[in-house]
Structure 1
Amino acid sequence: MTVLLEVESLDKRFGGLHVTRGVSFSIHEGDRLALIGPNGAGKTTLVNQVSGVLAPDGGQIRLRGEDVTTRSQAQRVRAGLARTFQITTLAPHFPVQRQVELALFEREGLTGRAWRSIDAYPALQDEAGALLARFGLREQAATPTERLAYGEQRLVEMALALALRPRVLLLDEPMAGVPKGDGTRLLAALDALPRELGVLIIEHDMDLVFRFATRILVLAEGAVLAEGTPEDIRRDPKVRAAYLGNS
Structure 2
Amino acid sequence: MSALLELRHVDKRYGGLHVTRDVSFQLAAGDRLALIGPNGAGKTTLVHQISGVVGSDGGEVWLRGENVTRLSQAQRVRRGLARTFQITTLAPHLPAQRQIEMALFEREGLGGGLWRSVDSYPHLSQEARELLERFGLAAHAATPTQDLAYGEQRLIEMALALALRPKVLLLDEPMAGVPKGDGGRLLAALDALPRELGVLIIEHDMDLVFRLANRILVLCEGAVLADGTPDEIRRSPAVRAAYLGN
| TM above 0.5 | yes
* Number of the residue aligned with 1:157: 157
Q: Which aligned pairs between 1:209-224 and structure 2 lie closer than 5 A?
A: 209-224=209-224
Q: When the two structures are superposed, what TM-score results if normalisation uses the length of structure 1? A: 0.99
- In the alignment, structure 1 residue 172 sits paired with structure 2 residue 153: no
Q: Which aligned pairs between 1:45-84 and structure 2 lie closer than 5 A?
A: 45-84=45-84
**Stretches of 4+ aligned residues off by more than 6 angstroms:** none
Q: Which aligned pairs between 1:125-144 and structure 2 lie closer than 5 A?
A: 125-144=125-144
- Give the distance between the partners of 1:22 and 1:172, measured in 2 at CA: 21
- Give the distance between the partners of 1:39 and 1:209, measured in 2 at CA: 16
Q: CA deviation at 1:116?
A: 1.6
In structure 1, the gaps of 5 or more residues are none
- Give the distance between the partners of 1:30 and 1:176, measured in 2 at CA: 24
3-state SS of 2:154 partner: helix
The aligned amino acid for 2:103 is A
- Give the distance between the partners of 1:218 and 1:2, measured in 2 at CA: 22
* Number of the residue aligned with 2:116: 116
- Give the distance between the partners of 2:2 and 2:181, measured in 1 at CA: 37
- Give the distance between the partners of 1:134 and 1:220, measured in 2 at CA: 37
The aligned amino acid for 2:237 is P
Q: Which aligned pairs between 1:16-95 and structure 2 lie closer than 5 A?
A: 16-95=16-95
- Give the distance between the partners of 1:238 and 1:148, measured in 2 at CA: 42
CA offsets 1:184-241 (integer angstroms, 9 cap, x no match): 0000000000000000000000000000000000000000000100000000000000
- Give the distance between the partners of 1:116 and 1:181, measured in 2 at CA: 40
Q: When the two structures are superposed, what TM-score results if normalisation uses the length of structure 2? A: 0.99
CA offsets 1:107-131 (integer angstroms, 9 cap, x no match): 0000122332222100000000000
3-state SS of 1:3 partner: coil
- Give the distance between the partners of 2:3 and 2:162, measured in 1 at CA: 19
The aligned amino acid for 1:89 is T
Please, what is the CA RMSD of the aligned residues?
Answer: 0.6
3-state SS of 1:196 partner: coil
- In the alignment, structure 1 residue 99 sits paired with structure 2 residue 108: no
3-state SS of 1:90 partner: coil
* Number of the residue aligned with 1:233: 233
In structure 2, the gaps of 5 or more residues are none
- Give the distance between the partners of 1:2 and 1:127, measured in 2 at CA: 30
CA offsets 1:130-156 (integer angstroms, 9 cap, x no match): 000000000011100001110000000
Greater shift, 115-124 or 226-235, is seen at: 115-124
* Number of the residue aligned with 1:3: 3
- Percent of aligned pairs sharing the same letter: 78
- Give the distance between the partners of 2:19 and 2:166, measured in 1 at CA: 28
3-state SS of 2:11 partner: strand
CA offsets 1:50-84 (integer angstroms, 9 cap, x no match): 00000000000011110000000000000000000
Q: CA deviation at 1:3?
A: 1.4
- Give the distance between the partners of 1:212 and 1:2, measured in 2 at CA: 22
